[in-house]
Amino acid sequence: MSIIGDSEVACVSGIFFKKRNKIVKGLIMKQIFRAITLLAAIGVPVVGSAQVVVWSENFDELALGPYGAHTQDFAGGASPANNIVSPGYGGSGNAMAFTFNAVSGTTVNIQTATLATAPIISLTDANLSDYTLSFEMAIQGVDITTGYGGLQISVQGNNGGIFGAAAVSPFIVPVAGTANSGYQLYSYNLGAPWTANGGGLIMPSAASLAFGIGVVAYGNGMTASPETLLVDNVQISMIPEPSSIVLCSLGLAMGIALIRRRQA
């Protein structure tokens, strides 16, 4: 009959606790990985992320033909029309085509907008400087060059049009030579010098958002008739709020600290 001494018991106990610690470490790592995966799946920013898309429209799920809201001709004579056409950016999918007549010396003052749809995630940040609008646009016809005016881009809330609760860009004149050169990427921060219409756009109060685009040209030199603006891949992105980043950082730090404690 053999008797197990204290040294043997200590050895067995050491092996047991090492195995237990290894198992616990693995379980904790799995839980942290699952937590990060869940946060990413529901759209919560994780440490190291850049911007989060909060609203988008790529027009691919829409039927071809007439489309849009608030298509208006304030000066008369431009006969604006807004349609969904194919192909879109990259030769696939759909795009929005805003077409109008632009005759030299004739004032153009027109506006259209996408249909208003709900944001992808709940918005709590009211600071417009934390939001960026981007889209692809191809100008077909001639360059939009005017003595006064240009493109006027807007982000509209609650289907109010450009005169409702909206953030509106200053006049934008695309770089000469962009006409008939394919899609170009445009990106703008919604903070100053953008201005407020209708009391201003308050993101947390916006149950729906829309992208608006207008052309203002007094005594313009454009001679193309018609002119077409093809728009695709419209996105509004938000810089993650510091509170979200801090919470994620604390969670990861606590998990790492727990693993190190178990290993000690």
- Overall average pLDDT of the 103-126 stretch: 92
Digit-coded pLDDT (tens) for 147-170: 678 999 999 999 999 999 999 999
Residue 221: pLDDT band with limits 50, 70, 90: low
CA atoms within 13 A on the CB side of 11: 5
15 inside domain: yes
134 inside domain: yes
Residue 178: pLDDT band with limits 50, 70, 90: very high
Percent residues over pLDDT 70 in the chain: 70
78 inside domain: yes
User: Do 112 and 205 sit in the same domain of this protein?
Assistant: yes
Residue 260: pLDDT band with limits 50, 70, 90: low
124 inside domain: yes
The structure's pTM equals 0.74
Predicted pLDDT at 125:
96
Digit-coded pLDDT (tens) for 189-200: 999 999 999 999
- 142, two tokens: 């001639």
User: Do 173 and 210 sit in the same domain of this protein?
Assistant: yes
> Residue-wise over 222-253: b if at least 16 C-beta within 10 A, else e?
bebeebbbbbbbbbbbbbbeeebbeebeebee
Contacts of 122 (CB under 8 A, 6+ apart): none
Give the total number of structural domains in the chain. Answer: 2
User: Do 122 and 168 sit in the same domain of this protein?
Assistant: yes
Predicted pLDDT at 219:
66
Give whichever of 29-33, 45-49, 96-100, 237-241 has the largest mean pLDDT: 96-100
What CATH number is attached to the domain comprising 201?
Answer: 2.60.120.260
Q: Is the pLDDT of residue 17 over 90?
A: no
**Among all chains, which residue has been given the structure tokens 């191809």?**
138
Q: What is the chain's mean pLDDT, rounded?
A: 81
User: Do 235 and 259 sit in the same domain of this protein?
Assistant: no
User: Do 24 and 58 sit in the same domain of this protein?
Assistant: no
Predicted pLDDT at 7:
52
Q: Is the pLDDT of residue 9 over 80?
A: no
Report the DSSP beta bridge partners of residue 149.
217
Enclosing domain of residue 114 = 52-239
126 inside domain: yes
User: Do 39 and 63 sit in the same domain of this protein?
Assistant: no
User: Do 103 and 185 sit in the same domain of this protein?
Assistant: yes
1 inside domain: no
User: Do 170 and 252 sit in the same domain of this protein?
Assistant: no
Digit-coded pLDDT (tens) for 229-246: 999 999 999 998 654 444
User: Do 198 and 131 sit in the same domain of this protein?
Assistant: yes
Predicted pLDDT at 224:
65
150 inside domain: yes
User: Do 189 and 227 sit in the same domain of this protein?
Assistant: yes
User: Do 123 and 248 sit in the same domain of this protein?
Assistant: no
Q: Is the pLDDT of residue 11 over 60?
A: no
User: Do 134 and 248 sit in the same domain of this protein?
Assistant: no
- 225, two tokens: 């008739």
Identify whether the C-beta of residue 69 lies closer than 8 Å to the C-beta of residue 154: no
205 inside domain: yes
Digit-coded pLDDT (tens) for 40-62: 444 444 434 578 999 999 999 99
